[in-house]
Structure 1
Amino acid sequence: MNASTEALPVVVIGAGPIGLAAAARLVERNIEPLVLEAGPAAASAVRDWSHVRLFSTWGEVVDPAAEKLLAPTGWTKPDAATYPSGREWAELYLQPLADVLGERVRYGATVTGVSRTGRDRIVDADRDAQPFVIHYTAYDGTEARIFARAVIDASGTWSTPGPAGGSGLPALGEKSAADRITYRVPDLKDPAVRTRYTGKRTAVIGSGASAFTALAHLADLAKEQEGTHAVWILRRGISGSTFGGGEADQLPARGALGLAAKAAVDNGHADAVTGFRTETFERDADGRLILVGEDGRRLDPVDEVIVLTGFRPDLSFVSELRLGLDERLQAPTALAPLIDPNQHSCGTVYPHGATELSHPEKDVYLAGMKSYGRAPTFLAMTGYEQVRSIAAALAGDHEAAERVELTLPETGVCGGAGLFDQPAAAEEPAGGCCAAPATLTIGAPASSSSC
């Protein structure tokens, strides 16, 4: 890297929890960041699930470097033992942090492409010496570009939810049934949204924290409004770990969430349909939806469907970079074995940093929920440790980059899934956790960023 390239900023994609923490860590290292945020304010993805409460406490979702930046402004950290909602997280912490960063955060900037200046992904010659070029589109449609010494993609996975189809593709008829399907946990405190589900039969597809949340909220509505009922659709069966760790979970709010979902079934507010992989959406004469499984089973008609089958990384705008990604999880190859939900629960994923997040393309990092690809095992604390290490590596402090400065809580029984600090859900295997909701929660979404 030449002197002119070193003078360029590090571009951070996404002004969510991890992106803003990355900027704070870079400032701490006297490296100039530039955060590009597609939305009109900080934490746009978090604001999309503002009604959801995290199952991580305030003490676990505030980055230490960010707290140092905020302290001179008179900012006071909320009670560390309480659980913020998405709205509180965004308004009381993430937006103030973005405000302190000031012009280092650029809103309305949707990144459309990242590459090496004058080098597509094929060209080897003098590649590492070239700065990065980032193309983005502003709100008014204007196209622009900026140059960077390094890129940290913390854009999350919130914009790309998984489909209802059991094969990973949308089920036949899923797109045409969009008027009756949502891929987010609905805010039943919103009168318009509440009306949509009141007195209705709603299918909930998914088996993670977000599905637990939706079931718990629908059960509360069913207690007040006659005729309201949920049908919980799981691709696998129900086992002892389906509802998480319960009272043994060391993230108590997450354990309580699983117990609330279990109560929804036990109390008759929801019916569980197991081993069902959705293949087709059909309509009956009244316009209601009939879900047809791969095994030919046809479920009774439902009025609405809530699909909560996890999230995926959008890799389209980084396709000109040489990324080393696991073919299954779409996570960095060195990280993937550590977070594979087929092998690990949230309690067995150890803190990691720049080494595990590196790619063949030097000075490019995926951080936060995006670094986990399709794996539902992310905590905000994990993301904060990631960007601490990345900033140290970019500053040339390799000893600090390799050092572990985080102790994760034991997370009880998570099945094969993990922790989310952002609303997220995993279907294969069951489970999901992350800075996720306490009335339900994230860990991740989203991002989203994460929690």
Structure 2
Amino acid sequence: MVDHSLDQLPVAVIGAGPIGLAAAAHLAERNVPFVVLEAGDTAAAAVRSWSHVQLFSPWEYNTDPAAQRLLAEAGWQEPDASELPTGGDLVKQYLQPLAELPALAPHIRYGATVTALSRLGIDRLRTAGREQAPFVVRLADGEELLARTVIDASGTWRQPNAVGANGLPAHGEQDAAAWITHGLPDVFGADRDQHAGHHTVVVGAGHSAANTLLALAELADAAPGTSITWAIRSADPSASFGGGSDDELPARGALGSGLKMLVDTGRVTLAANFRTHSIRRTGDNQVELISTQGGEQSITADRIVAATGFRPDYGISDELRLELDPIMSAPRALAPLIDPNQHSCGTVTPHGYRELAHPEPGYYIVGMKSYGRAPTFLMLTGYEQVRSIAAALAGDLESAQSVELQLPETGVCSVTAGGEAIALRLGLSKEEHEQLLHVTAKYLGTSATAADAVLSAATELGIDHTAALQLAAYAADQFDAPGATGC
């Protein structure tokens, strides 16, 4: 007779991304048996798809403590905590080495797509004996695994939101799918030909939209005929500009400052109050987006970038008992702590296994998926989630209940740090950035604003025009504020 007692079974971790691998690291440290099921052929498959994107959070906010300890034992060279990695850096310098550790590698299965979850011999209706019944994890090839606990870190990358403004696909959106890119296109690499010399409309108002708009503006300098429209639902884009120089993550503040510059200088055409109702293909191999709310508007473009975010897919857990907030689609206890109407990335209350629990004992959703439709997730938050869950599974409830998190939020930062963040984005070395500051000082006395001084210095040094304007936007944000003094 097969022993199906829970303590003989592993914890099933779904997803080998940053949070799934962190969960594995914490379980390994606590000697809790586990298996990681990854749908892709490699670790961090989703991250690899946006490897060209630079994060606005430095290394210190992107690595997990347990993972750091395991890597250090293997001789890992920790990256500079203050540097901003790209997605590719995150994979190459952290996630791939982590997945290859002897403590993790034998327990990771690639090409293992989870299609359904349930309890052994029990459907969602039955209560008696539920807590003692193992989880059944069904894979796409029909194989079934048994697990004592399921930690779902599968993320939301494969479930993008629609272009349609009301949460539903716009009429004609499916027919126009070949003209639509979701997420973060690589406009300087694989996707360059789709945008160079063409008109792109970016739909969305978050950081992904800002990243894409800034990249397209840089592309426009090198590729004549490249034009950009930014379509947002609101009447005022200021919420998308963020904290500027007051942001504790300078690169995030620089992103907003740069975006404001693009709009103010007309390098990006703003289509405010645009709520996409329908998309139709035209005879010129283009697409037309139509907004009918508050008067009809239309935008004709060669390409649409849908920077509209992502949403969780709970299809695999249909036979489990979940308690989800009806608005956020996040665990009910977590939802008020992450509501984007009330919180930014840095004001989220620390939370752990208790807030992530469901009426289904032993099932936890973590990482980006745990945030439902909220766009305020930071990796550091997910690392604390899985640390708490691993401690609880190991019986260390004191540690599991002691959740602490130091997140970057809006606050005062130095202009040097902000400038370095932009300089890194633009491919400038620390020495080149210092030279830029030095030349800027020469122009401060004869320039109307600090922004003009930065522009003049950048021009003298031969820095790309759009790049100079981005740096100038951040400098203006810092130095031109009421009561601010010069360098």
TM-score (norm 1): 0.88
| Deviation beyond 6 Å, 4+ runs, structure 1 | none
Q: Can you list the C-alpha shifts for 1:25-69, whole angstroms capped at 9, x where unaligned?
A: 111111011100000110000001000011111111111101111
Q: Can you list the C-alpha shifts for 1:310-331, whole angstroms capped at 9, x where unaligned?
A: 1000100011110110111110
Pairs within 5 Å for 1:191-270:
192-270=190-268
Corresponding position of 2:54: 53
Aligned match for 1:121, one of 112, 120, 124? 124
| Higher fraction of helix | 2
Q: CA deviation at 1:378?
A: 0.6
Q: Can you list the C-alpha shifts for 1:121-157, whole angstroms capped at 9, x where unaligned?
A: 11111110001110012xxxx3211111100000001
Q: Pick which of 210-219 and 238-247 moved more.
A: 238-247
Q: Distance in 1 between matches of 2:133 and 2:364?
A: 17
Is the CA contact 1:205–1:307 (under 8 Å) kept in the aligned structure 2? yes
Q: CA deviation at 1:199?
A: 1.1
Pairs within 5 Å for 1:276-425:
276-295=274-293, 296-412=295-411
Matched residue SS, 1:214: helix
Aligned match for 1:136, one of 127, 136, 139? 139
Matched residue SS, 1:87: helix
State the AA in 2 paired with 1:109.
Answer: A
Q: Distance in 1 between matches of 2:127 and 2:249?
A: 47
Q: Distance in 2 between matches of 1:102 and 1:349?
A: 33
The alignment's C-alpha RMSD in Å is: 1.6
- Are 2:109 and 1:106 aligned? yes
Q: Can you list the C-alpha shifts for 1:182-215, whole angstroms capped at 9, x where unaligned?
A: 012111221x521111111110000000000010
Corresponding position of 2:463: none
Q: CA deviation at 1:343?
A: 2.4
State the AA in 2 paired with 1:79.
Answer: D
- Are 2:57 and 1:27 aligned? no
Is the CA contact 1:11–1:150 (under 8 Å) kept in the aligned structure 2? yes
Is the CA contact 2:163–2:170 (under 8 Å) kept in the aligned structure 1? yes
State the AA in 2 paired with 1:38.
Answer: A
Give 5+ residue unaligned stretches, structure 2: 413-423, 427-487
Is the CA contact 1:222–1:269 (under 8 Å) kept in the aligned structure 2? no
Q: Can you list the C-alpha shifts for 1:320-371, whole angstroms capped at 9, x where unaligned?
A: 1101101111100000011111222333211110110000011110000010
Q: Distance in 1 between matches of 2:64 and 2:124?
A: 34
Q: Can you list the C-alpha shifts for 1:387-426, whole angstroms capped at 9, x where unaligned?
A: 000111111211111102322222359xxxxxxxxxxxxx
Q: Distance in 2 between matches of 1:3 and 1:36?
A: 20
Q: Pick which of 292-301 and 280-289 moved more.
A: 292-301
Equivalent pairs, count: 410
Is the CA contact 1:115–1:133 (under 8 Å) kept in the aligned structure 2? yes
Q: Can you list the C-alpha shifts for 1:232-274, whole angstroms capped at 9, x where unaligned?
A: 0001122543311111100001111111222222232211111
Corresponding position of 1:68: 69
Structure index of larger Rg:
2
Is the CA contact 2:320–2:360 (under 8 Å) kept in the aligned structure 1? yes
Corresponding position of 2:481: none
Matched residue SS, 2:191: helix
Matched residue SS, 2:92: helix
TM-score (norm 2): 0.82
Is the CA contact 2:188–2:219 (under 8 Å) kept in the aligned structure 1? no
Matched residue SS, 1:129: coil
Say if 1:333 and 1:439 are closer, same or farther in 2 by CA, change over 3 A: farther
Q: Pick which of 220-229 and 19-28 moved more.
A: 220-229
Say if 1:19 and 1:390 are closer, same or farther in 2 by CA, change over 3 A: same
Matched residue SS, 1:127: coil
State the AA in 2 paired with 1:214.
Answer: T
State the AA in 1 paired with 2:110.
Answer: Y
Q: CA deviation at 1:439?
A: 4.5
State the AA in 1 paired with 2:243.
Answer: G
Q: Which has the higher contact order (CA 8 A, sep 6+)?
A: 1
